[in-house]
Structure 1
Amino acid sequence: MRTVTFGMNISLDGCCDHTVFNPSESLMDYFTDMMNDVDLTFYGRIMYQLMFPYWSDVAKNKSGSPDEIRFAEKLTSLKKVVVSRTLENAEENTQIIRSNPVAALKELKQQPGKKISVDSVSMLPELLTAGLIDEFNLVIHPVMAGRGRRLLDSGSLLETLSLQLTDTIVFKSGCVAHHYRKQ
Structure 2
Amino acid sequence: MRKVSFCLNISLDGYCDHTIGEPTEELMEYFTWMMDDVDLLFYGRVMYQLMFPYWADVAKDRSGSAAEIRFAERLVSIDKVVVSRSLETMDSKTTIIRDDPAAELRKLKAQPGKTISVDTVSMLPELMTAGLIDDFYLVVHPVLVGSGRHLLNAGSLPEKFKLELVETRTFKNGCIALYYRKRNNVN
| TM-score, shorter chain, exceeding 0.5 | yes
Question: TM-score under structure 2 normalisation?
Answer: 0.96
Contact 1:80 1:93 in 2 (8 A): yes
Structure 1 residues 1-183: aligned runs within 5 Å? 1-183=1-183
Whole-angstrom distance in 1 between the partners of 2:165 and 2:2: 20
Runs of 4+ in 1 over 6 A off after TM superposition: none
Q: SS of 2:179's equivalent?
A: strand
**How far did residue 18 of structure 1 move?**
2.2
Give the C-alpha shift of residue 137 in structure 1: 0.3
- TM-score, normalised on structure 1? 0.98
Contact 1:17/1:147 (<8 A) preserved: no
1:169 CA displacement: 0.2
Deviation at 1:20, TM superposition (A): 2.0
Identity of aligned residues (%): 65
Q: Post-superposition shift, 1:17?
A: 2.2
User: Does the CA-based 8 Å contact 2:166-2:180 persist in structure 1?
Assistant: yes
SS at match of 2:144: coil
Cα shift at 1:90: 1.8
Q: Distance in 2 between matches of 1:19 and 1:66?
A: 19
The number of residues matched between the two structures is: 183
In the TM superposition, residue 91 of structure 1 has moved relative to its aligned partner by 2.5
Deviates more, 1:51-60 or 1:84-93: 84-93
Q: Does structure 2 retain, via aligned residues, the 8 Å contact 1:6–1:136?
A: yes
Tell me, in whole angstroms, the C-alpha distance in 1 between the residues paired with 2:119 and 2:75: 12
SS of the counterpart of 1:136? strand
> What are the ranges of 5 or more consecutive residues in structure 2 without an aligned counterpart?
none
The answer (yes or no) to whether the contact 1:17–1:148 under 8 Å persists in 2 is: yes
Gaps in structure 1 of 5+ consecutive residues: none
Between the aligned partners of 2:147 and 2:91, the Cα distance in structure 1 is: 30
Is 1:17–1:145's contact at 8 Å kept on the other side of the alignment?
no
Higher alpha-carbon deviation: 41-50 or 21-30: 21-30
